[in-house]
Chain A
Amino acid sequence: GDSVTQMEGPVTLSEEACLTINCTYTATGYPSLFWYVQYPGEGLQLLLKATKADDKGSNKGFEATYRKETTSFHLEKGSVQVSDSAVYFCALTGFQKLVFGTGTRLLVSP
């Protein structure tokens, strides 16, 4: 079945460092791909999405490109802030339901 694999965390960075969180997927068909973020004590929020190959999703300085050839959707940010500390989930849509990865915790220190 459809699945998503994310790099394990925690990822610990200093403020203004570059971020990459790896995500690869297995799916039949052509799913849409998503990154969700979960701040402490809050529900999941959609961060960005891409619906077809080579699409780039972007929001709040985060970017991810839908790479069909490598079945990947890596999350990147050029300069992280303390406020970016959260858990990030990669997900895809399969048969009208979201399939999530296990999440990657990001910790950013001042």
Chain B
Amino acid sequence: EAGVVQSPRYKIIEKKQPVAFWCNPISGHNTLYWYLQNLGQGPELLIRYENEEAVDDSQLPKDRFSAERLKGVDSTLKIQPAELGDSAVYLCASSFGGGDEQYFGPGTRLTVT
């Protein structure tokens, strides 16, 4: 069974540029999560989807961050414009039915210069 797939694995951009991350969850997992992991810290939830619906986006900085999950499968997280402080690892995870066990992708390491 394929795990959670994320792309790209690494991204370097200049500040004020836009960037997008893509996630494909485990087949059949209807709950999808995006986490932000700063260096030396644990992941922090940005947004949680149940199928197509964003049910918890309280920690998503909506002035520059947006996310979508069309058709309830793949998801895209976008930052526009990026700031230096956005340099971090962006993790995607999925679970079945919002269950306790979440499965994580390898993450996208973003560097903003």
Q: Which residues of A line the B interface, CB within 8 A?
A: 4, 32, 34, 36, 41-46, 49, 51, 89, 91, 93, 95-98, 100-103
Q: Is the interface of A mostly helix, strand, loop or mixed?
A: strand
Q: Which residues of B line the A interface, CB within 8 A?
A: 3-4, 33, 40-45, 48, 56, 91, 93, 98, 100-107
Check A43–B101 contact: CB distance below 8 A: no
Check B41–A43 contact: CB distance below 8 A: no
A89 contact set on B, CB distance < 8 A: 42-43
Q: Is the interface of B mostly helix, strand, loop or mixed?
A: loop
Chain A residue at minimum C-beta to C-beta distance from B56? A97
List 28 A–B pairs whose Cβ atoms lie within 8 Å, in order of A's numbering: A4-B42, A32-B100, A34-B100, A36-B104, A42-B106, A43-B3, A43-B4, A43-B91, A43-B104, A43-B106, A44-B43, A44-B91, A44-B93, A46-B101, A46-B102, A49-B100, A89-B43, A91-B42, A96-B48, A96-B56, A97-B33, A97-B48, A98-B102, A100-B44, A101-B42, A102-B41, A102-B42, A103-B42
